[in-house]
Amino acid sequence: MSTASKRFRTLVLVSLGLSLTGCVLGVTLDHGNPTNTAQSVVWTAQNGWVGPVPQLLTDSARTAFGTKAGLKSLRDQLGKKVTVGPPRLVSKREGDQGNGHYGDVKRYFSADVSGLTPQGTPAKSTMLIVCRVYYLKYYQQGESGMCTFDETTRRGYTCAASTPESSWQGESEDCKVSDVIPKGS
């Protein structure tokens, strides 16, 4: 296996881990599908939190919105009481997804975003989202339950249930917002 292939697999597994465990300050920031990605970007902008920007924005979008000032600009553009419409598939590109599967490798989405400016006028934008698609195989070995001496009865051990082995395979998306365009632009 080539070095690039190993790096790619590591990146995919790390991305999957981040998307599955991206809980930050009680809010789950998820970039595993276009809807959650869009909502996570809105939350990030509303709270001015730069930390998750690399996981949520493409390089070009980070240039525009990847700083505190950029997030403030995005927050001003989106307004308050923001709602994100369902993302619509605009186009897709097919190719090798990995692990012997061929299908979509990139999907491009567009979502309508609406809110209210501080003056109460409607603010409307279009959010562009790009998703890379991978085919993953995941396996977790089972573990025996931990046993402890039963202090209550002092007659043996109490054991927790064992964790069975598990496996999963299928498509996984890693999505990022590539631009937010005010309507009328």
Cβ-count burial of 172 within 10 angstroms (0-12 exposed, 13-18 middle, 19+ buried)?
A: buried
pLDDT tens, residue by residue, 2-40: 444 444 444 444 444 444 433 333 445 677 889 999 999
For residue 19, CA distances in Å to 28, 37, 48, 107, 177 come to 9, 10, 20, 18, 15
pLDDT at position 84 is 93
Q: Is the pTM of this model over 0.75?
A: no
pLDDT at position 28 is 54
Percent of the chain exceeding pLDDT 90 equals 35
Q: How many CB atoms lie within 10 A of CB 146?
A: 11
Residues 6+ apart with CB under 8 A from 81: 115, 116
Q: Between 149 and 116, name the one with better pLDDT.
A: 116
List, in sequence order, the alpha helices (H) in the chain: 3-20, 34-47, 53-56, 59-65, 68-78
pLDDT tens, residue by residue, 113-148: 999 887 888 999 999 999 998 887 777 877 877 888
Compute the average pLDDT of residues 64-71.
91
pLDDT tens, residue by residue, 74-121: 998 888 889 999 999 999 988 887 778 777 889 999 999 999 887 888
